[in-house]
Structure 1
């Protein structure tokens, strides 16, 4: 590959290792080494602490509950989108991704505002909201409303790809339609379901936003909130934070290993070019009505209610006066974008940090993707694995490692406590997006391009600028956009690594919510969500354009 003329395997591996592997090594050293010698004492003492054991139990139970709840939402939706008249409405897939792309802490705040005492539920229905909502059941509900699109898309895509001959054979030899579904279709879905469920389990364990807002309110500590507490409250307990981080890392790595085993051993060829299940739709009126009702309820619960709460709160002049036309104002948005306001500075910090991080990550992802290509050699596989580590490891573990690594006494200089620290953190956490989007664009190119470059290319630099960059521009841009919008909304790393007196949009929303100035915080949340939706649409448009070009 042409990139190997510009950067050696050793240089690329060293760069990626310094970004991704070194922080994890720092966590390992801090957990298991004392005074230069290996020791399990601190790690075992942390695990024996009653609060830590309770936290681990809370986290595992939460993960299992969320898997069960997302299954009850995603499986019916997948069937509805492939077996009913709603199958033709492809725009629904984009709508269903909105909850997943909405920062979890914002969705959680929306539900808190709706269900709390004198909240919007009470104002709209003139009765108190059920107090049982503020419980582990409510927390599972909120997290499921955020994560169900992930499982839904996996199951729906598996159903769409499923070979129609399986259903034909089942109809010929099966006893009844329900038996056919149980004995034929569901086993074929098992591989996709287990893989997605395990990933949801990891995402639940690694989630910080909802546990930090809703979980804190009901007294339900989990891995991420406990690690954050050990590092953010005096006295700082670094050994406890790293020990708990290592436990979280170990659990997630084990689940990732299980996921890889499932994908290898239980994958089936379910597509052969014949008719798909999508062509055989159930057109019964009762089923169609139920499908529309179920879809509408899910959209109302996952998008309508939390977004209503967020927007309404951002427009209230005096929160205590409740919902009324006379109590609506845009003053919070005016204050937010006043040049001297703290909200404006926080927003511009978010834009600046995210822009720089996305640009550097896109450049690094471009070179990494060109080197890795199809990962056919051991060196390519090693580079690929190193670049994708942040997708496997929970973000808060990386943040702890970055804090430890960049505070090491042997470093001649450090970016810690400077504005480069959040930029570096965003690059590390979200580099996989740039790599994956560029690799996806690269996989669509014919091998002959590489051969032609080798023969006719004047210089390696010319080939990079005049051939590969234009061909991969859509993938690079899509990776840049995803890195930008996720960096804009990142919360847990920003809370832990921002320099003193520096805020981003995410920390501004969190602090305003905690301090009671909710309307101003929700105005920032509305702006953040709007930017996310717009950029998400741009990424979707780029992908459609690339698909049309590929088949055109």
Structure 2
């Protein structure tokens, strides 16, 4: 293949990738804006805002969403900042297994964690069975504060990782310089540590805010219980409940998207204002305090309490509920059974069908996403042309936009009367939705792997007579395979637990494990729903561990 042919191929491949991303990602979002500003076949740019302001309930919903996002940021900060300091500045950070355990809350589907907390704290729940006097706490928990607590316990690992990595980069020399000049600990923390953390904290706080106002599972379970409604639950109501009102749904979706874009702009300003160079030629030296005495007691106590609240209580409730014969008889050895698991996994049961649907949908969507994501990542490559930057932006856009907004846009696009492809309300519509929502993971992982490869390796293969296909198969593919495997695993995990897209997109009479759990909990069949949760999370975890064991990256690390 000569140089001109190669350039022509790359140009066509890049153009096709950009076209596909435009159709899959950008067009659905544009349709949301167009539908919201073109009601009754008349252009009205202020229509979305007028729709919100004309209803007191919708204004309250908007304020609820923004207030919830800010409150979760504050409580998440209280959880994550001390934990990040403990893991970065004390010798507890040498316990690598803690980092793995601390990711469990984030990998747990939020609606399952919410259900676990509700079972534990409700009237007659597990806490009251063990400590009857604790019933006085129930009204305080089933409130706005309880909802903030549940969502913060789910999201704090995300902020913790960002802050811990930032603290490790700061090193101990800066603190020591301030200490030499007589600065006490809290003064050093206020004048040295906090300013250097602001850039990373701004990004983490933004992502926490976006994930909070985009979350559907917790508002749909706990929020409905306490009568607290947010934008995502209202969008779902207008699309899934009669009478269907796409006008209000698109107005709320466009407003939700606008709030997220404003937050992205604010974060950009914060990052540009508080960015510092912390890594230089002299390197950095991290100062760690010994976790002995009062420091050790407080550090270990804080970590244990946080793990107990974020993992212990929800999973205790989930597993216990799945084993109870009768909920009214309480927790006792004579009231435990495995019959719910046997019924769930019996041939022909709705539960087994839902479980198989989840895994087949996740496997198919992950496989398609890893192929497309690898293509997009290689198209973007290391270049800096305008087309490559736009392709990169479009490929990562679903990761920065609330999922329910993308889903609404996909419904508008593929259910339009002018759409020639009858994809809506089919199995493949679900696959397409999962692919669009989670393709950024493969793009990010493959880009990270590809960015570390020196182009001289491919050039050497060509010099020694290797064809483009041979170089790709024997040199490039093995080097980017770890990124592809990581992207596949992440897409599979999140697709398998996806709730809001499944509720809105699934064809009639088709269920996944997520919708099955949600439906059983709503209908009062808690034991069956929790058994499904245990099986779904357990099987997914085992599969991911097997893939990690077989991954080429792990084998290379062992050599």
The two structures share one fold, judged by TM-score above 0.5: yes
1:265 aligns with 2:242: no
Find 2:535's aligned residue among 520, 527, 539.
527
> What residue number does 1:242 align with?
250
> What residue number does 1:16 align with?
21
Shift of 1:277: 5.9
> What residue number does 2:52 align with?
47
> What residue number does 1:363 align with?
371
Q: Equivalents in 1 of 2:8, 2:536: separation in Å?
A: 39
Shift of 1:86: 1.0
Q: CA RMSD in A?
A: 2.2
Gaps of 5+ in 2: none
> What residue number does 1:136 align with?
144
1:57 aligns with 2:89: no
1:348-497 matched pairs, under 5 angstroms: 348-456=356-464, 458-497=466-505
Q: Which has the larger displacement, 72-81 or 160-169?
A: 160-169
Q: Equivalents in 1 of 2:185, 2:442: separation in Å?
A: 44
Native 8 Å contact 1:161 1:271 kept in 2 = yes
Native 8 Å contact 1:370 1:439 kept in 2 = yes
Native 8 Å contact 2:80 2:156 kept in 1 = yes
User: Aligned to 2:511, what secondary structure does the other structure show?
Assistant: coil
* Number of matched pairs: 551
Shift of 1:282: 4.0
Shift of 1:419: 0.7
Q: Equivalents in 1 of 2:284, 2:321: separation in Å?
A: 46
Shift of 1:35: 5.8
Q: Which has the larger displacement, 437-446 or 225-234?
A: 437-446
Find 1:95's aligned residue among 94, 101, 105.
101
> What residue number does 2:78 align with?
72
1:114 aligns with 2:104: no
Q: Equivalents in 2 of 1:502, 1:101: separation in Å?
A: 25
User: Aligned to 1:267, what secondary structure does the other structure show?
Assistant: coil
Q: Which has the larger displacement, 129-138 or 272-281?
A: 272-281
Native 8 Å contact 1:3 1:367 kept in 2 = no
Normalised by the size of structure 1, how large is the TM-score? 0.95
Shift of 1:75: 0.6
1:84 aligns with 2:56: no
Q: Equivalents in 1 of 2:288, 2:115: separation in Å?
A: 41
Find 1:38's aligned residue among 43, 47, 53.
43
Shift of 1:188: 0.9
> What residue number does 1:200 align with?
208
| Cα pair distance change 1:168/1:535, threshold 3 Å | farther
Q: Equivalents in 2 of 1:276, 1:531: separation in Å?
A: 42
Q: Which has the larger displacement, 342-351 or 154-163?
A: 154-163
Shift of 1:438: 1.0
Shift of 1:42: 3.9
1:324-335 matched pairs, under 5 angstroms: 324-335=332-343
1:185-334 matched pairs, under 5 angstroms: 185-272=193-280, 276=284, 278-334=286-342
User: Aligned to 1:38, what secondary structure does the other structure show?
Assistant: coil
Native 8 Å contact 1:211 1:220 kept in 2 = yes
| Cα pair distance change 1:283/1:516, threshold 3 Å | closer
Q: Equivalents in 2 of 1:538, 1:97: separation in Å?
A: 18
Shift of 1:25: 1.4
| Cα pair distance change 1:532/1:279, threshold 3 Å | farther
1:105 aligns with 2:116: no
Q: Which has the larger displacement, 337-346 or 525-534?
A: 525-534
After superposition, the C-alpha distances for 1:423-454 in whole angstroms (9 at most, x for unaligned) are 00000000001111111111222221232345
Q: Which has the larger displacement, 425-434 or 4-13?
A: 4-13
| Cα pair distance change 1:343/1:442, threshold 3 Å | same
> What residue number does 1:5 align with?
9
> What residue number does 2:349 align with?
341
Normalised by the size of structure 2, how large is the TM-score? 0.94
